[in-house]
Structure 1
Amino acid sequence: MIDQKMIARVVGVVCLGLTVACSGGNPGLPSGGGGTTGSSETGGTTGGGTTGATTGGTTGGTTGGTTGATTGGTTGGTTGETTQGDGAIIGDGPVVEAHLDQLQIEAGEVPLEVLRSHGELLFTANFNTLDGAGRPEATGTGADRSMRMMPDNFNRISAPDANACSGCHNLPRTGGGGDNVANVFVLAQRLPFVNFDGGEGDGDAPQTLTGVANERNTVGMFGAGYVELLAREMTADLHTVRDLALERARQQGRSVRLPLITKGVEFGAITAGPEGTLDVTEVEGVDVDLIIKPFHQKGAVISLREFSNNAFNHHHGIQSSERFGDGVDHDGDGYTNELTVGDITAATIYQATLPVPGRVLPTSPEGRAVVARGEELFTGSIDAGGFGCATCHVPALKLNNPVFTEPNPFNPDGNLKPDDVAAPVEVDLTMEGPGPHLARGSDGSVMVPLFSNLKRYDLGEGAEIELNNEQLEQAGIPTSHWLTKKLWGIANEPPFLHHGRASTISEAIDCHGGDASASRAAWASGTPEERASVVEFLETLQVLPEDAESVVTFANDSGVMGDDPAVTFHMTQDEIVAGRVSHEELFEHGKNLFRASFNALDGAGRPEATGTGASRARREGNEAFNRISGPDANACSGCHNLPRSGGGGDNVASVFVLGQALPFVNFDGGEGDNFEEHTLTEVANERNTLGMFGAGYIELLAREMTVELHALRAEALARAEVTGRDTRTPLIVKGISFGAITAKADGTVDTSEVEGVDADLIIKPFHQKGAVISLREFANNAFNHHHGIQSSERFGDGVDHDGDGYTNELTVGDITAVAIYQAALPTPGRVLPKDPEAREAAMLGELLFTQIGCGTCHVPALKLDNPVFTEPNPFNPDGNLKSNEVEPYAFDLTTQGRAPRLPREADGSVIVPAFTDLKRHDMGPELNNERKVQAGIPTEMWLTRKLWGAANEPPYLHHGRATTITEAILAHGGEGEEARERFEALSDAEQNQIVEFLKTLQVLPEGETRLVID
């Protein structure tokens, strides 16, 4: 049971002397709640009168103070929330607590900064059921389907597949592109619930992974406002030509053929007949309606508004009133007007005003000369000795008027149109919104250096990485046709190509065919130095830091000509042992490895090996990635990024655990499926990504508990040997009971009464099953499984186990660095609500949390005797560096871990408020959804979730299917059933108090030094 004195000591640690009045129970218990501190990552005041508008998570204040905001957007449903004081919600609430009124926007009553702030909130919001997230009775196209509820509320293929827009759009920061792990399965949203069983969810037809949808990588949105304006002007030009042809044909009484040219880009020709007919057979690179559609990689979406309306419904099950009707609950989730017309305007303006990408030039004159030569080759015609790339990737297009108006005059039905509003929103992109900005010319125009002509081309087929790989035609566009990629920002938004299968720029260029064949041939005929200079030029096209003063900045040369590996430096274990590497250098190297978007030059991919290391038939090119069996991601931070790098993940990044044992899952029963029939629900165990903050303390706790368990086993064996009788010994460590063992006089041990830990009595604190011993083991596993990066300590020094031509892809020292990085990440803390009634509710909720038995498993704190982290772990399994093989590296988490850190007690120990017992429990039938047994652990058994940091790392439960804290609590069964029943027996107000307390447990803003903020 929980020692109440321990709880009081936790308060001293967590609250750091903060005095909070308590009513009843133990004096000094910490209070807390939702709300944020105003950081860019966790929300707070973002300007323009917006009070507490969050940018993600389930916590935060209210946008009720926003000029033009209303609280009548999302309606319906029973939320159970209580509103107190100044409007703060006690308990679970929607992420978007207030909605914008379009009429107030049109009346000029909503300032631009408020529009952008609210748009950012919508773009980063981890929507939950109280926002109306999910679409139980509708597909992503809006068609009817049979009711699908938890755990069928998400589907990684047919969707809803994500919690937030920023779950995918986050490279190099929010608004950018995405890791391959976040790829979208375009057109699968037409199906009710893809399971690859040929049933109703599959449209009553057999499906395969490569045939059910078109897998696409996420494209960045920086500079999107300029792109939309260019498309509008080009559309207007084309329509003018069309109208002129019709007028001339009518006047002259004969057919008139006119070329379709706008901004120097040719779109074929159009022929008008005297009777008003149009022959569009010569139109090229645009639909016959002559509307330039600059979004989607097929060029299938007209505007940011259309893109937003589509995506909110497809990916999140959030249905806007302008698309589905005012007051209409189209998807049967009990909510209407989930986003208002004003909300969509705000989301559009936020994207339209994202900064433009720029250039990062080498600091050295020699480096700049190489870049200049590369740009000359890129832009030069083939006849003049260049590569002719700029024929399609036009360096810049002239925008006559950079004032963005919303809505778009060419919007299709289902989206707001100019005739629907009294006055459009107007934003001068050269002056308003965050920088850097593009400058106007003397005539008021702007040259937009997007490196695209916004035209579609046939890119051919037959390349090593196939571009004509899709089996489904989208919007009538041939499968081999693609919109010319906008290259600005490309260098720090990898991977490349529509499907993300190219991990280097050279690979992407090599795959061009069809209309680009001549340019590719010119590129191929160039010298290695010439090709490298072109890559050097393209590497200057980057998304710059927000509010950069100029669109051109400078940085040191990488030292590598052409494509670079993501990791240009490797660390040896000998350097670490010899003390030639500082702790800061070790941490930074580990951080770089954790954030690296690995490419082929790092050895990324595992052509001849599965994620378990078994051999497989060679898979490369388009089959270098597989979202189910892996490799499935480019970077660790591709999944671990909530609320920032190192944290948990959006459902879009959920991992299909044990799927990596198969060669290449395609659900066709072939070699890649091991000649077995599989379905999505049974091929693997889909798991949400857990955060790593505070992981060093967790591993140390597990080590100490393991040592104590082993000591109890040794003592029992010794007594049995001395007495000659069976000796039964309870296994209780740090106040946690793990059952009992019986030692036999013959030296054997009966482990049949052991509970919540394996028979080896090693506490395994990582993975949601409690199946991984250490951060080092976790890293070695993940690098191979997810990225195809194989460490020398796991696969052998100098061994190319996966047949990709690279050995020692990560050194022993590299793995040490990434383990130290994760171990030294800050600890989560508390965010206390400013509202006094919410703060009191959180305080009472913490008392109730313990009183109803939640703290029996979610133990508020465990005592760590020694906070000095040593690497490697003494209990590491084979295939991982062990402590007897090397002099361990040691550092003190309380002084050398990243802030905020936990303090030592007077006796040198540390109280770790992780809210877990590090024990597995039977969680009952509702959470027993998995079909595959991992590491011999029964499917109903789960490691007690660490609750510190949970509030701003949604969603919840092992599979991420709970979007609110209450939903997660109500799913508890088995050993958690009594606590759940007590929770259900509480009044609504008391339930909300518990939730309010849990909302205080947050990952704190980067750079925060305090463990408690308010």
Structure 2
Amino acid sequence: MIMKLRLSKLPCRARTQVWALSLLLCSGICLFNASFMSIWAAPSPNIDLEEQFQEALELHLNSRGEVWIKATDPNERFDSLFSTYQIDLLIKQGGFDVLFNAADEAFELEVDRVRGMGSPPTPPIGYPYLPRPIHKGERGGLDGTSCRTCHFSGGPDGGGDGTSLAMFRGDGQHLNTATLRDAPALLGVGYLVLLAQEMSQALQKQKEQAIQRAKAMKESVKLDLSFQGVNFGYLVAQANGEIDYSHIEGVSHDLIVRPLGWKGRHHSLVEIADESLALHHGLQSDHRVHKYKDQAEIYLGTGPEWDKDQDQVIQELDAGHPAILASYMALLSAPIYTAPQTTSAQLDWAKGRGWFEQVGCAYCHRPVLRVKPAALNISVQGKRSYSTVIKPFEHGQEPRIRRVDYSSDAQGRIPAGSPLFLYSDLKRHDMGERLADRQDETLPEGQVVPRQLWLTRPLWGLAQSAPYLHDGRAQNIHEAILWHGGEAQSAVELYRTLKPNEQGLLRAFLMSLGRPNVLLVE
């Protein structure tokens, strides 16, 4: 049996050790390194190669066993489709590590026609559905058979590689009607949603304060909206309780920060998972059917109540399946800094970060925002409503976000919360005509995001997430910077004035924003 052992950013000496170990444990192992080696990359001194190899090998053998069982017994093909009852059982009996492992299987599950994959026209029995890469409105298409299909560039739970772009909300036939998207990396997304949740609560509280002040003073009140130095414009509250939202910036008028999607489309991991199942695989969960029962023609299809998408499969997914995928994303580890190890490299790193801030990149790509440890609510509706909580700070995979610095700030105050070095303000910004979509995007709640507005993508994990930008058009960081326009145009012009070596230091600094080492057997 030939297996591939994938090692991310392990040094030559470590690779030699694993090669020797692999010869002892299993003959015929092929070893390769599939990740970018940062100029400052260094191995962890505490890597237990034998333990990691044993775990990776065990995972591989379990996966191979599952494949064999499903291939020989059709009744076993549904064991990776989860119900809300199963999620509850996994948490109560096995804890969150068991839940994560089960959810990982669901994330990598290869769906097929038997499970309900696909959409009309229905092919004859025994034939697969034809792919529909250009989606048809909010009904989506058929452009993948597994979440891993698009989320693997740079390692597990990574982004797209630019060759499998999703073609959203077209007419099902013509490319020029669709909007193109490359899959973003998923590491740290649970912490990201927690931060957005805290930001939304803060903005909502500020709005309520403005309303109360306007009523008490019996006159209009103007109130600036901000969170940890991120400015969202201002609103004006009238004495009668009405609100003027026309001067709000970077967020929808409902003041909900949406960190998911290139345009800031969703704020819930359940909703992004549920939408992805429908748009990419043609799988409609009980949660989705319940949510869009009054908009079935747009989101579900025109078929009978028991088979809206007319694929001849009834009750395709329990609401538990998007819930377990949401739980999986909530428990994913966080990206990391690859810190310089030598004095000269540390000096270059500091210079690169200095240029990053001086040209103005840090105005939108805020290096750090703080988030308080809290729980993410995973809730689904349907024939059986279900809700549970996930606490990434307690149950997340390593490396987790931790607070290690309790020092005071410049004003002598000790900031609350743990720092997230995500390099984003989670606002929408005007990026100019060159990056603008073909059309505006309407969110599920009805708000419209103009074609030139984009969410500030977090830069953590950047080193392993090429290609860049929403459609993968930039093959490297230099190209990605030059594509910026609109509000970022002045920063681009300042970047152009830097000497080549100064530009290189800035880009090298960005390449220190990476992801944890990964050991896989494939």
Distance 2:482 2:34 in 1: 23
Q: Quick one: structure 1 residues 639 and 780, their matched pair in 2 at CA, closer, same or farther if it must change by over 3 Å?
A: same
Between 922-931 and 908-917, the greater mean CA deviation after superposition:
922-931
1:752 maps to which of 235, 246, 249: 246
- Correspondence for 1:971: 483
**What does the per-residue CA deviation read over 1:510-538, in whole Å, with 9 as the maximum and x for residues that have no partner?**
xxxxxxxxxxxxxxxxxxxxxxxxxxxxx
**What does the per-residue CA deviation read over 1:750-777, in whole Å, with 9 as the maximum and x for residues that have no partner?**
1100110111111110110111121111
**What does the per-residue CA deviation read over 1:464-519, in whole Å, with 9 as the maximum and x for residues that have no partner?**
xxxxxxxxxxxxxxxxxxxxxxxxxxxxxxxxxxxxxxxxxxxxxxxxxxxxxxxx
Q: CA deviation at 1:780?
A: 0.6
1:907-986 correspondence runs (5 A): 909-935=417-443, 936-986=448-498
1:89-488 correspondence runs (5 A): none
Q: Quick one: structure 1 residues 44 and 626, their matched pair in 2 at CA, closer, same or farther if it must change by over 3 Å?
A: farther
Q: Is this contact kept in 1: 2:87–2:324, CA < 8 A?
A: no
1:813-824 correspondence runs (5 A): 813-824=320-331
Q: Is this contact kept in 2: 1:894–1:904, CA < 8 A?
A: no
- Correspondence for 1:995: 507
Q: CA deviation at 1:645?
A: 2.3
Q: CA deviation at 1:899?
A: 0.7
Give 2:132's aligned amino acid: N
| 1:890 counterpart SS class | strand
Distance 1:554 1:864 in 2: 41
| 1:870 counterpart SS class | strand
Distance 2:159 2:381 in 1: 26
Q: Does 1:586 align with 2:99?
A: yes
Q: CA deviation at 1:833?
A: 4.8
Distance 1:986 1:557 in 2: 57
- Correspondence for 1:638: 149
Q: Does 1:863 align with 2:357?
A: no
**What does the per-residue CA deviation read over 1:633-691, in whole Å, with 9 as the maximum and x for residues that have no partner?**
000110000222211010111111223xx3x42x4xxxxxxxxxxxx3x3111111100
Distance 1:42 1:657 in 2: 35
| 1:784 counterpart SS class | helix
**What does the per-residue CA deviation read over 1:545-571, in whole Å, with 9 as the maximum and x for residues that have no partner?**
79x99xxx9779738854466542544
- Correspondence for 1:40: 7
Give 1:926's aligned amino acid: R
Distance 2:507 2:65 in 1: 48
Q: CA deviation at 1:983?
A: 1.5
Q: Does 1:846 align with 2:369?
A: no
Give 2:401's aligned amino acid: L
1:746-785 correspondence runs (5 A): 746-785=240-279
Q: Quick one: structure 1 residues 685 and 59, their matched pair in 2 at CA, closer, same or farther if it must change by over 3 Å?
A: farther
Give 1:40's aligned amino acid: L
Distance 2:65 2:223 in 1: 66
Task: Give the number of the structure whose alpha-carbon radius of gyration is greater.
Answer: 1
Distance 2:218 2:474 in 1: 53
Q: CA deviation at 1:896?
A: 1.3
1:653 maps to which of 164, 177, 184: 164
1:485-634 correspondence runs (5 A): 558=69, 561-563=72-74, 566-574=77-85, 576=87, 580-581=92-93, 582-607=95-120, 624-629=130-135, 630-634=141-145
**What does the per-residue CA deviation read over 1:948-1007, in whole Å, with 9 as the maximum and x for residues that have no partner?**
001111001111111111111122111111222222222222111111110000112126
Q: Is this contact kept in 2: 1:955–1:962, CA < 8 A?
A: yes
Structure showing greater relative contact order (alpha-carbon pairs closer than 8 Å, 6 or more residues apart)? 2
1:11-90 correspondence runs (5 A): 40-42=7-9, 44-45=11-12, 55-56=33-34, 59-60=37-38
2:315 maps to which of 808, 820, 826: 808
- Correspondence for 2:400: 901
| 2:462 counterpart SS class | coil
Q: CA deviation at 1:929?
A: 4.7
Distance 1:619 1:730 in 2: 57
Q: Is this contact kept in 2: 1:720–1:743, CA < 8 A?
A: yes
Q: Quick one: structure 1 residues 54 and 628, their matched pair in 2 at CA, closer, same or farther if it must change by over 3 Å?
A: same
Distance 1:908 1:805 in 2: 53
Q: CA deviation at 1:803?
A: 2.2
Distance 1:584 1:545 in 2: 18
- Correspondence for 1:78: none
**What does the per-residue CA deviation read over 1:595-624, in whole Å, with 9 as the maximum and x for residues that have no partner?**
1110112111122xxxxxxxxx65775653
Distance 1:792 1:555 in 2: 26
Q: CA deviation at 1:701?
A: 0.6
| 2:134 counterpart SS class | coil
Distance 1:683 1:43 in 2: 44
Q: Quick one: structure 1 residues 722 and 807, their matched pair in 2 at CA, closer, same or farther if it must change by over 3 Å?
A: farther
Q: Is this contact kept in 1: 2:373–2:393, CA < 8 A?
A: no
Q: Is this contact kept in 2: 1:955–1:964, CA < 8 A?
A: yes
**What does the per-residue CA deviation read over 1:410-429, in whole Å, with 9 as the maximum and x for residues that have no partner?**
xxxxxxxxxxxxxxxxxxxx
| 2:92 counterpart SS class | coil
- Correspondence for 1:526: none
| 2:97 counterpart SS class | helix
Give the root-mean-square deviation of aligned CA atoms.
3.3
Q: Quick one: structure 1 residues 723 and 834, their matched pair in 2 at CA, closer, same or farther if it must change by over 3 Å?
A: closer
Q: CA deviation at 1:700?
A: 0.5
- Correspondence for 2:20: none
Q: Quick one: structure 1 residues 910 and 810, their matched pair in 2 at CA, closer, same or farther if it must change by over 3 Å?
A: farther
Q: Quick one: structure 1 residues 999 and 856, their matched pair in 2 at CA, closer, same or farther if it must change by over 3 Å?
A: same
- Determine which structure has the larger helix proportion and give its number: 2
Give 1:601's aligned amino acid: V
Distance 2:490 2:34 in 1: 32
Give 1:628's aligned amino acid: I
Q: Is this contact kept in 2: 1:41–1:1005, CA < 8 A?
A: yes
**What does the per-residue CA deviation read over 1:835-887, in whole Å, with 9 as the maximum and x for residues that have no partner?**
65444312211122122221111011111022433323xxxxxxx549xx65x
| 1:624 counterpart SS class | coil
List runs of 5+ in structure 1 lacking aligned partners. Answer: 1-37, 62-87, 90-543, 608-616, 668-679, 873-879, 1009-1014
Q: Quick one: structure 1 residues 802 and 770, their matched pair in 2 at CA, closer, same or farther if it must change by over 3 Å?
A: same
Q: Quick one: structure 1 residues 559 and 786, their matched pair in 2 at CA, closer, same or farther if it must change by over 3 Å?
A: closer
Q: Is this contact kept in 2: 1:566–1:597, CA < 8 A?
A: no
Distance 1:555 1:567 in 2: 12
> Equivalent pairs: percent with the same residue?
29
Q: Is this contact kept in 2: 1:951–1:1002, CA < 8 A?
A: yes
2:211 maps to which of 709, 717, 724: 717
Give 1:587's aligned amino acid: F
**What does the per-residue CA deviation read over 1:174-199, in whole Å, with 9 as the maximum and x for residues that have no partner?**
xxxxxxxxxxxxxxxxxxxxxxxxxx
- Correspondence for 1:685: 179
Q: Is this contact kept in 2: 1:751–1:759, CA < 8 A?
A: yes
**What does the per-residue CA deviation read over 1:891-930, in whole Å, with 9 as the maximum and x for residues that have no partner?**
3322311111111355872111111000000112221253
Q: Does 1:892 align with 2:391?
A: yes
Q: Is this contact kept in 2: 1:685–1:930, CA < 8 A?
A: yes
Q: Is this contact kept in 2: 1:598–1:787, CA < 8 A?
A: yes
| 1:979 counterpart SS class | helix
List runs of 5+ in structure 2 lacking aligned partners. Answer: 18-30, 42-55, 136-140, 292-304, 407-414
Q: Is this contact kept in 1: 2:439–2:450, CA < 8 A?
A: no
Distance 2:348 2:128 in 1: 54
